[in-house]
Structure 1
Amino acid sequence: MKLPMLNRLSSRIFAIFWLTLMLVVLVLLLLPHLDPRAQHTIPKPELERYQAAAERISNRLSHGQGRLEDKLLPLADPKRHKGMQLYFTSLDGELLTPHERTKALRNFITSADSPDNPRQKLYGRWMVAGPFLISDQRQSALMYIGRFTHRPPPFFLRILDQPFHLLLLTMLVSTPLLLWLAWALSRPARKLQQAAQRVASGQFTQDPTLETSGPQEFRQAGASFNQMVSSVNQMISGQQRLLSDISHELRSPLTRLRMATALAQRKQGNSQELDRIDTEAERLEAMIAKLLELSRMQIHGQEAREQSDAVSLWQDMLDDAEFEASQHQKSLTCGPLLPWPLTGNAELLISALENVVRNAIYYGKDRVDVQFSANDHSLTITVDDNGSGVPDEELKDIFRPFYRVSTARDRHSGGTGLGLAITENAIRQHNGSITASPSPLGGLRVTLTLPLAPQGQPLATSVSA
């Protein structure tokens, strides 16, 4: 992924983070204004009702006789006002009537003492409002109104009062959001990773969904990835087509050479020199045929991939190989073959194992052993023979194209040195591995490992250049 894309993606993540943080701060700033336990203005309908009550009390006091404190005592009786309690203080805040909830009232009086700006505040479920000015035309006092609210405190207040519950609520609210954000950002990254793993396993396939889903940065990275895969396909195809064209072109002079050799033998009779020319020409023709096979395999190896199983791939080939071994007075034993799931080019997979088995039959003295074993992820195939074997220092080189073993195993075989190279190429294209080691039977052991395919795995469509 290009650096500018990473910078834009990081900027977007930080923008989302700061936006979320600003929303949290805004909520925290608004909560005090929504908290009825904080002192705030009285709603207009209630304010008008309280002011009207203060005017009625002032009119009643004006018609009474005696001191203001004595006239206020009956009004402060809690039994007189259902669900309400009236409190009276002097203009200096001195309590004029006995009452309950002195602590809450004194707390409210210290912060609300102006009748021009009545306020209210909640203490538990007890709402105190005031002050309101009352007068008997000789003296004035302040009236506060307390009433019991039957509604429980708002849910968010109960949460704010309990830090553990607040933390739990914050986690419950933020976790799904953060998980969704992480999933939304990681989903296109996972798709890009899966596409890269397919390329690493030898499947040079484009994925159009990389360019249609996810943030813009990932879509651009997906488009670049598909362009890279297309370029690699073109480069590999061009290289292999060049090899194929050269092999085809070599066949024409080779055919003329063999025709000239045949004419010379007809005119002059057989000679050691002409026989040697004909033998080398025949070997060169076989080598060119193998090169063409290798070229076709590399060009079309990613095409025609399908899901199959080990039995349908190799059972018939192993039966034929067992018959061929018996014709050469050799025995071929094969372990249990189960329908393990495999995904790939069936022709290449069959050819890969067939090359190894026939190689073992050719070089083994009289015994060839083929065994299969599998775990949850891979299938391992071992092919043993009791031939002359391969020197330890040359075991890693026998899969190189045109490599000829220095021992009698390959010195007089007339082989091209491409059989095991073709097998190695086919196994590598299927994300497998192939190794050679000394066999317990005394000859060569070749071990092939292939990944097992999950059942029902969808196959990507190959895009050829």
Structure 2
Amino acid sequence: MKFPNITSLYGRIFAIFWFTMLVVLIAVLALPHLDPRVARETQREQLDRIYQLRDNLEQRYGASNDIQQVLQGVKNNNRRRASSPKDSELPRLFLTDVEGNILQTQNHHDFKTKVLKNFITTVESPSKPMQRLYGRYMLIGPVPIELANRNLHLYVAIRWNQPPPFLLRMFDKPLQLLLVVMIVSTPFLLWLAWALSQPARRLERAAKRVAKGAFTPDPSLEKGTSEFRQAGASFNQMVKAVNQMVSGQQRLLSDISHELRSPLTRLRMATALATRKQGASSELERIDTEAQRLEQMINELLELSRMSTNSHANRETQPATSLWEEVFSDAQFEAEQLGKVLHYPKIPEVLVSGSPQLLMSAVENIVRNAVHYGRQQIKVSMRSSQSHIHIIVEDDGPGVPDTELNDIFRPFYRVSTARDRDSGGTGLGLAITQSAILQHSGTIVASCSSLGGLKMSISLPLTND
């Protein structure tokens, strides 16, 4: 049989199981030897005292040839010891013939004849005195004795004042046995629960860090039982692979942007030289405008990439008012300059954890889009629950068709309606906003507004720090 490694989870469960079985086996094997209610040989020290009682009895009734007189004397002596508290601890004596027939009748309430008969039947050899506990009395015998010229057997009943063995009390009282088993097994179960929970909690904390964008391996995951060590090693390997993939993507975008910026710079310089030599023309202006748009697109692509890889850095816990009060105030001023009205409520007094720059940029992008596309009014509403803050921005602009509400967060996607036809944007603004919200474990949903335009709903988790 192959035994599991003790460092593994199954090995620990296996060890606890066999340890429990070993304890039960020892208890079962030891109980017959500890149980005084089981007949066994009398110890030598106890037997010497019984022999001394026999010698005293033979000396006391040695001159009598009347067996009835002897039996009456023994009976009176037992009765006196039973009725006197002072002598109640002294042994009681009983006589039988060699065939095991009791020679005197006992009517005492604390000892019955049938008990003595039961003990006599358990004795295998008259030459080997045995002992057995009955209730509160320990019976010992038979011991050969000669009285009134007859060979008889002597049995002695000694009051048992010792408490019963611990295991005996446990098996006699099932509730106490259950309590002891629970007390003994609880430390092992607590240890097993701790051994299981600690690696699981470390893995949970590591997973939460990765969910927040921290792609760093955790060496502590590779400790504990073999199953959790394997899971931790696989988790760290996965984190390293993801980190390498994201870093490779970031390097690729950086290299591409660098390679694209060089010809764009040369193109704009050539356009400027051509304008200086030949004068301004609509064709040269169009070339310069498209070059600027392309450069803007490259910058936004880099911003989106940096946001995806570095969102876990520079995280802080700040009040919502310090994050967005200035954003809403500036957007309200901008709307007034355009002849529009922006309403926003009092910002709830809650704490938000994350990158302040990303959180402000995400909300600012949504609000400025609403100001840009709204015809007359923009409405901002905010509310907080026990765990989240909800920001809703609505406008009365042209809106977005229902079939395209889920597509507007895709990079480079351009809405087919008038809302985005001539905006001049790159189609990356909402993709960057969504990335920032998702990096903070939030959600952003686009829907149709009751004002007639677009409705953007943002939900972000709060912190209790």
Q: Tell me: CA distance 1:177–1:270, structure 2 relative to 1, closer, same or farther (3 Å).
A: same
Range with greater deviation from structure 2 (254-263 or 329-338): 329-338
Flag structure 2 segments of 5+ consecutive residues without an equivalent.
82-86
* Aligned pairs, number: 450
What CA distance in whole angstroms lies between the structure 1 residues aligned with 2:326 and 2:460? 19
Corresponding residue of 1:349: 359
Q: Distance in 2 between matches of 1:353 and 1:250?
A: 30
SS at match of 2:298: helix
Distance 1:16 1:167 in 2: 18
Post-superposition offset of 1:281 = 0.6
1:411 aligned to 421, 443, 460, which one?
Answer: 421
Moved more, 438-447 or 180-189: 180-189
| Whole-angstrom CA distance in 2 between matches of 1:380 and 1:155 | 65
| Partner of residue 312 from structure 2, selected from 281, 302, 321 | 302
The 8 Å contact of residues 240 and 298 in structure 1, kept in 2 or not, is answered as no
Maintained 8 Å contact 2:66/2:148? no
1:437 positional shift: 0.5
Q: Could you say which residue in structure 1 is the equivalent of 2:372?
A: 362
What do residues 136-179 of structure 1 show as CA deviations (whole Å, max 9, x unaligned)?
49432221111223345455544433445544554455456435
**Contact residue 203 and residue 302 of structure 1 kept, 8 A:** yes
Alpha-carbon offset, residue 200 of structure 1: 4.0
Deviation at 1:335, TM superposition (A): 2.3
Q: Which amino acid letter does the alignment assign opposite residue 422 of structure 1?
A: I
AA in 1 matched with 2:105:
P
Task: Report the residue type matching 2:45 in the other structure.
Answer: P
The answer to whether 1:9 aligns with 2:9 is: yes
2:92 alignment counterpart: 85
Q: Which stretch has the larger CA shift, 398-407 or 224-233?
A: 224-233
* Residue in structure 2 matched with residue 461 of structure 1 by the alignment: none
Query: How high is the sequence identity, in percent, across the aligned residues?
Result: 53
Who is 2:142 aligned against? 131
Alignment match of 1:400 (pick from 410, 418, 430): 410
The aligned amino acid for 1:426 is: A
Moved more, 405-414 or 297-306: 297-306
The letter of the residue matching 2:443 is S
Would you say the 8 A contact 1:307–1:341 is kept in 2?
yes
**Matched-pair contact (CA < 8 Å) for 2:27–2:167:** no
Preserved contact between residue 319 and residue 352 of structure 2 (Cα < 8 Å): yes
Match for residue 40 of structure 1? Answer: 40
Q: Over residues 225-253 of structure 1, what are the superposed CA-to-partner deviations in whole Å (9 max), with x where a residue is unaligned?
A: 22321221121112112112211221111
Length-normalised TM-score, structure 1: 0.88
Does the 8 Å contact 1:398/1:420 carry over to 2? yes
Quote how far apart the aligned CAs of 1:68 are: 4.3
For the structure 1 residues 48 and 374, does the alpha-carbon distance in structure 2 shift closer, same or farther, using more than 3 Å as the test?
Answer: farther
* 1:270-349 matched pairs, under 5 angstroms: 270-349=280-359
1:102 aligned onto 2:110: no
In the aligned structure 1, how far is the partner of 2:462 from the partner of 2:182? Answer: 42
Decide whether the 8 Å contact of 1:130 with 1:144 is kept in 2. yes
Secondary structure at 1:31's aligned position in 2?
Answer: helix
Whole-angstrom CA distance in 2 between matches of 1:169 and 1:331: 76
Letter in 2 for 1:65: S
Query: 1:47/1:343 Cα in 2 relative to 1: closer, same or farther (>3 Å)?
Result: farther
Q: Secondary structure at the match of 2:419?
A: helix
Measure the CA separation in 2 of the matches of 1:194 and 1:354.
32
Aligned position for 2:84 = none
Residues 334/21 of structure 1: CA separation in 2 closer, same or farther (3 Å cut)? farther
Residue type of the partner of 1:97?
Q
Instruction: Indicate yes or no: 2:30 matched with 1:23.
Output: no
CA shift for structure 1 position 382:
1.1
Question: 1:402–1:417: 8 Å Cα contact kept in structure 2?
Answer: yes
Q: Do the aligned partners of 1:244 and 1:291 also contact (CA within 8 Å) in 2?
A: no
Alpha-carbon spacing, 1:140–1:308, altered in 2? closer, same or farther (3 Å) = farther
Unpaired stretches in structure 1, ≥5 consecutive residues: 457-465
Q: Could you tell me how far apart the structure 2 residues matched to 1:312 and 1:54 are?
A: 103
1:66 corresponds in structure 2 to 65
